[in-house]
Amino acid sequence: MKNVLFELIYLLLDEKRLFLNPGFSGKDISGHFFPGASVGESIVIEEFGCSLNDLISHYRLQYARNLLAEGFGFEDVWRYSGFKSKRLMVKALSRVVVYKKNIKFDSNMPEN
């Protein structure tokens, strides 16, 4: 089941880039490919450590980051990276920042 899940997510997100469609959500994956939406969601949380919608947001943020690196302006990048609005892009970005702020690092870890 795990390999099928990875292949499915890879196909939909990496190859078909369905995350670029602002209407695409986790329900589109779990509702169609699992016996129940909650079943698919729980499998993804167990395997990836995040919800399907968070995973889709991650893909969108990665794409937005690449667009910014190519010279796209921050005000417009949400339109091309699959977010429904700039507000939703900023919200997804702030969730990543808050998550990273809350990570506790081991004192024995080497610093960069």
| Domain extents in the chain | 1-111
Q: Reply yes or no on whether the pLDDT at 112 is more than 60.
A: no
Alpha carbon distance 8, 66 (integer Å): 24
More confident residue, 101 or 108: 101
pLDDT of residue 102: 52
Q: List pLDDT tens digits, range 21-68.
A: 999 998 887 766 766 667 677 777 887 788 888 889 999 999 999 999
User: Domain spanning 1-111 has what CATH number?
Assistant: 1.10.10.60
Q: Can you read off the two tokens belonging to residue 41? A: 């969601």
| Structure-token match 């089941």, residue found | 1
